[in-house]
Chains A and B, each alone.
With several copies, the nearest count.
Chain A
């Protein structure tokens, strides 16, 4: 289940290290870059993503903010308006709702409102996702709200290589980006990998084929990439060859890679962990319908979280989230349609 990365030799790095490196390297490279967030300086971040940054770059450029998500976003916008590159951390992506207005109405629209005069180079990043017993407010995948707010780019890396390359891409992109980190992957040694020492980016809007296949396409991202890979293993035992596409970037979306795959497989299952209604999985189904309808031999189906919050204790949490079994089950229905 190893992620696909540039083949290099060296020590394997985990997802967290990849993020730490991206931030430290960009801070060193760009003296106009500022980091801000709750507990990112003295503490180094709740998960340690900014560990050591304040020592290296000083408290002016690595700011421990009051617990004020709206002011964190708003002041990031102001810094960017005045020429800075800003990384703002949400301690958990769940708390982004407290800064919601500033994101969707102030930040997202700035370039549009000013007819292109002002681009806001802010990357908002934070730990996201379920499967860890975090319960309602430490498990969310709420990317759909922001995909539905024109002017924001939305990115969800699933591997250390991508985490570093996409984070750098966001920090260099002139537009506001939301960067969802899968916190269950931070220290997952199974996905640790060797990543290049040289500077690199992964361009926004390019999907990755994590496993090639011919009978069915899984379109997914984040934590569920791994569930789909496992499902593909199980399907392989049953004689089906499933392709797994990790879209990585939701806005912009690489439609081409999905289309090419569906042309080949004619069947598709979309998997994500957000609530079903109005989630990005539905968007993928609607788009596939638009650009690949004539290639479909079966309906494109979704495996998502139920339309519930994420409950705490394990049996409940797993009941509502996508699982390998649910994915296999849905894939089998699509294959047999």
Chain B
């Protein structure tokens, strides 16, 4: 079954009142250009980390978000700074891309800085968690980012609690929680969505369906063709977005956000995409081994073919077709369809390279926290 941008799950899907224009049709030319820049930025972040890791400069595991950038950029772009997000392992760019529309160098924007995120990756003391937990297990109360544990789907009830409290305070915040499709099998996923549905909490769950959970394909994870169908069982909308098309993701998320902000409750948005590499960088070689054979005979073969379109390419085509950029503009920096080791800095706009450079340089110079911190902050005194 191939994905089309309009595909949604009956009967809950029609969140857009008849005749109303798609949210993305309201975006300005500047918005479109910014979205493309953000896709570059997310891609470059990943590429750069992969290279750093290969050079032995990073510890730990790297969960690449390559090919899934449209999900992140498309879902974050329409949020207000006061909204909350709850990213997990494959959403690393989300931490600094939150509220990026408010200005990449705006000190007041409500997202982590690139310096903070790099300090986290490098295990340095200016990480928001002072390098006490690794990779994506960070967050910030003031920046409205929920701190996950490793335990998959474990932040969804926390997210529900956060917006419950916000609503009690008279706020109108929504929360986006991100999950791999594999993580939806956790009991807590069900408990949290059910609770959110009962109380019509503004909890939007993005299911990043990249068709593999580590070494397990979707047909062993759940038994529906379209995961989004699960939503109907909770009496909430389940939408399917083309995870390669940043504008389709934006549309579906904004429909869900408007629904949620209007007090109508949660939704699930399945973004169909495909994992570019192994589960983590330690798994690249094995994944290259186990996946192709399995995918070739899979029922979701069409989905995968569809998801091989590079989201940057898809975005550029749209911008060209809208007349916002020329083909020459599109061809100026070409990173699409290239694996990390095949890209050079010239394949990305200079402002993107410069932004990350700042973060990396800061992180490299930042010290590791002192040993004694290991014994601190078990309790608030």
Contact = CB atoms under 8 A, between A and B. Distances in A.
Asked if A and B touch directly (CB within 8 angstroms), the answer is yes
Contacts of A75: 157-158, 160-161, 164, 192, 195
A106 interface: yes
B298 to A, nearest CB: 12
Interface string B119-143: 0000100001111111001011100
Contacts of A46: 214
Contacts of A98: 151, 186-188
A318 B371 contact: yes
B49 interface: no
Contact of A74 (B128, B161, B185, B216): B161
24 contacts: A34-B165, A42-B217, A65-B216, A66-B194, A66-B195, A67-B152, A67-B221, A68-B194, A71-B187, A74-B158, A74-B160, A78-B161, A80-B161, A83-B165, A92-B150, A97-B151, A113-B147, A115-B377, A133-B134, A135-B133, A137-B133, A174-B380, A311-B374, A312-B60
A114 B221 contact: no
Given A68-B194, A81-B162, A101-B151, 12 more contacts: A71-B160, A74-B154, A75-B157, A78-B161, A82-B165, A101-B188, A102-B154, A109-B149, A111-B379, A151-B379, A306-B374, A315-B374
A149 to B, nearest CB: 11
B80 to A, nearest CB: 16
Interface string A256-268: 0000000000000
B220 interface: yes
Interface string B205-238: 0000000011111001110000000000000000
Nearest to B161: A78
A25 interface: no
Interface stretch (A11-19, A116-124, A219-227): A116-124
A186 interface: no
A77 B151 contact: no
Interface string A152-193: 010000000000000000000011000000000000000000
Nearest to B183: A67
A216 B24 CA distance: 74
Contacts of B147: 110, 113-114, 118
B195 A68 contact: yes
Interface string A66-97: 11101101111111111110000001101101
Given A77-B158, A117-B140, A175 B379 contact: yes
A136 interface: yes
B151 A78 contact: no
A319 interface: yes
